[in-house]
Amino acid sequence: MADNTVSITSEQFIEKLRKALLLNGDFPACAKTVNELRVLASNPNTPANKMSELILRDPSLSTKILNFVNSAFFQRGTQITTISQAVMHIGTKQLAELCSNFTLLQKLVPTARKGGPFALALERLISTSILTSILNSSETTNKAKNEESGYLVGTFSEIGLMLTSYYFPKLFENAHQRSLEKNISLNKSIKQLTGFEPLEISLDVLATLKMPTVYTASVITALKFKNNEIKFESLDSSQSLTKNLLIAQDISSNIVGEYNNTPLNEIVQNISNLYNIGNDKLYDCIELFSKEFPNHCQTMQIELPPIEKLDELSEAKNSSSTIKNCEANELLDGSNDEKVTEKTKVTMQKYLQDIKESIENDESIASIITTIMESLVWGLNFDRVLLLLVDIERTKLQGRMFLGNSTDNLEPKNIIIPLDITSAKVPSKCFYNGQITTSGELVFPKDSSCIAIPIGLHETCIGVLYASFTDKNNNTISSYMLDIAKGILQELIKLTSQDN
């Protein structure tokens, strides 16, 4: 497991990983017991007792499998007391892969106990596995099988990240530090250093080890989505496992680790917007995960760092409920029905339709953002709209374009907003939080109110649109304007996801 890597090409990285995986006795998934189990599982005529006998040769493995299938995580109606029962309930193929999973973890757990970045990678793997299993169990048929399929595909999707940390600890440490310093995701940092997305590394591992195609197919589809080759909406009901994997990976990557300072309620809202999934379902999933994660670690006999983001769960859920109740009350008493003219509604509807069609037709980002700015000025009557783009070091926002009637002859390029997580400036808060922002320190002295919309989320964010009213008009930001801004944000998320 020695790692002398300081700098490495993409080809060297993947070649070293393959050699390490295939080194006899080094990688546990190549162990004799696992290979024999796979051979038996691939034969539909294999008697159940043959599988049971093989697993029972390894007492440690037998104990872990029984503890796992009887844990609260799977919530089975009856206790499974023998390996034979486990074979009957789970099925030969999935049990073979669970054994492979536990054999792998059995070798890696001692390294994780030492802490450091490897413990973080293992925590990500376990978190994604549990979250995918929870989400997948909500499918209407065969709950137990869906749970186990979800768990396994979650594991296999993160195996590339974990084995990078295991075989290349120095490289992984550099990637981890880079993600913290640049406020980018660990996945993006890994790609910058190796040339590969972690999902691509996982696929190479799965191919090298000749893993089942059902899991490989889900990881391939997930990678296509990450590379903007397919849209989430295009995934049909037969690809629910992939859908649940994508959502689970986003939750896991946002709550595990240190780089993301975004509050949990905003993380949930962003994921809800991206995947069109209800906040309640996401909160229920995270709440169940918060209970199952420590139980799972106990079953594996490992102590991992606490997931601090989960400390915000109760407050985030309460905040979500309060907002929902307020919105419902406003609708009932009519206070949300502002004086929006029919002409404004028709104009904005046309602008939003134009924006959607422009994105679908792959028009340039500059053209689409110009259309959005025009909609804010001519549709919602903001006095001015400023386009601010982030610099390559992601340390400041710089003005690029002004639109409106009250530009005060200002040169956009002279407007610079330093990016500081503690800054009260509206554009800076908007950029860091990855959400629509209306409160904070305004950009111009004459501004009376404003709304800032991020152009993308977090590491895919390329800037901020800042729209404001001047004090002479004394206008305020209405809920109708916020609704329009949310619609614009959803389109901007799609736009920047396609471009990155």
pLDDT tens figures, 429-451: 888 888 888 888 999 888 889 99
Q: Which of 241, 239, 254 is nearest to 133 (CA)?
A: 241
Can you give the pLDDT at residue 336? 45
Q: What average pLDDT does the structure give for the chain?
A: 79
Distance of CA 110 to the CA centre of its chain: 28
Burial per residue of 151-176, b for 16 or more beta-carbon CB atoms within 10 angstroms, e otherwise: bbbbbbbbbbbbbbbbbbbebbebbb
Counting every residue written for the chain, the total comes to: 500
The CATH number of the domain covering residues in 342-499: 3.30.450.40
Mapped onto helix, strand or coil, the DSSP state of residue 83 is helix
Cα(254)–Cα(261) distance, rounded to whole angstroms? 9
Tokens 């595909």 locate to 153
Phi, psi of 468 (to 5 degrees): -140, 155
Q: What percent of the chain is predicted at pLDDT more than 90?
A: 14
Can you give the pLDDT at residue 325? 52
Can you give the pLDDT at residue 358? 83
pLDDT digits (tens, 9 = 90+) for 79-137: 677 777 777 777 777 777 677 666 666 666 677 667 777 888 889 988 998 999 899 88
**Which pLDDT band, with edges at 50, 70 and 90, does 464 fall under?**
very high
- Region(s) of the chain under CATH 3.30.450.40: 342-499
Q: How many CA atoms lie within 13 A of 63 on its CB side?
A: 7
Q: Which of 179, 67, 64, 61 is nearest to 120 (CA)?
A: 179
Q: Which of 312, 339, 331, 272 is nearest to 481 (CA)?
A: 339
Task: Specify whether the CB–CB gap between 103 and 33 falls below 8 A.
Answer: yes
Structure tokens at 406: 């009250």
Cα(253)–Cα(255) distance, rounded to whole angstroms? 6
pLDDT digits (tens, 9 = 90+) for 246-305: 999 999 988 887 656 778 888 888 888 788 888 888 999 999 999 888 887 876 677 888
Q: Range with the lowest mean pLDDT among 15-19, 138-142, 233-237, 433-437?
A: 138-142
pLDDT digits (tens, 9 = 90+) for 160-195: 888 888 888 888 889 888 887 777 778 888 888 888
Average pLDDT over residues 124-153: 78
Q: Exposed, middle or buried: residue 385 (CB in 10 Å: 0-12, 13-18, 19+)?
A: buried
Cα(74)–Cα(261) distance, rounded to whole angstroms? 32
Can you give the pLDDT at residue 451? 93
**Which pLDDT band, with edges at 50, 70 and 90, does 61 fall under?**
low
Task: Specify whether the CB–CB gap between 377 and 361 falls below 8 A.
Answer: no
Q: Range with the lowest mean pLDDT among 240-244, 339-343, 378-382?
A: 339-343
Question: What is 196-236 written as a DSSP string?
Answer: S-HHHHHHHHHHHTT--HHHHHHHHHHHHHHTTSS-GGG--
Among 5-9, 40-44, 274-278, 449-453, name the most confident range: 449-453
Can you give the pLDDT at residue 212? 60
- The H or E element containing residue 354 is helix 342-360
Average pLDDT over residues 420-433: 85
- Region(s) of the chain under CATH 1.10.3210.10: 10-317
Q: How many CA atoms lie within 13 A of 261 on its CB side?
A: 14
Cα(247)–Cα(407) distance, rounded to whole angstroms? 42
- Indicate the pTM of the whole model: 0.62
Can you give the pLDDT at residue 159? 85
**Which pLDDT band, with edges at 50, 70 and 90, does 199 fall under?**
very high
Superfamily of structural domain 10-317: Hypothetical protein af1432 (1.10.3210.10)
Can you give the pLDDT at residue 145? 61
Taken in order 333, 336, 339, 340, the sign of the CA dihedral is: negative
Q: Which of 439, 498, 443, 447 is nearest to 472 (CA)?
A: 447
pLDDT over threshold 90, residue 385: yes
Q: Range with the lowest mean pLDDT among 28-37, 100-109, 191-200, 307-316?
A: 28-37
Can you give the pLDDT at residue 332? 40
Q: Taking the CB of residue 82, how many other CB atoms lie within 10 A of it?
A: 12
Question: What is 90-117 written as a DSSP string?
Answer: H-HHHHHHHHHHHHHHHHHHHHHTT-SH
Which pairs with CB-CB distance under 8 Å and at least 24 residues apart come from 368-371?
Answer: 368/495, 369/455, 369/465, 370/401, 370/403
Can you give the pLDDT at residue 426? 93
**Which pLDDT band, with edges at 50, 70 and 90, does 465 fall under?**
very high
Mapped onto helix, strand or coil, the DSSP state of residue 6 is coil
Q: Range with the lowest mean pLDDT among 328-332, 348-352, 392-396, 485-489?
A: 328-332
Structure-model confidence comparison of residues 234 and 201, the more confident one:
201
Can you give the pLDDT at residue 24? 47
Residue 377 is classified by DSSP as I
Can you give the pLDDT at residue 328? 44
Structure tokens at 468: 């404001």
**Which pLDDT band, with edges at 50, 70 and 90, does 493 fall under?**
confident
**Which pLDDT band, with edges at 50, 70 and 90, does 77 fall under?**
low
Beta strands in 305-373 (DSSP E): none
pLDDT over threshold 70, residue 326: no
The per-type count for the chain, helices as H runs and strands as E runs, is 20, 5
Mapped onto helix, strand or coil, the DSSP state of residue 461 is coil
Q: Range with the lowest mean pLDDT among 255-264, 325-334, 396-405?
A: 325-334
Structure tokens at 164: 């990078």
Can you give the pLDDT at residue 71? 62
Average pLDDT over residues 422-434: 86
Task: Specify whether the CB–CB gap between 397 and 405 falls below 8 A.
Answer: no
Average pLDDT over residues 399-409: 78
Can you give the pLDDT at residue 285? 92
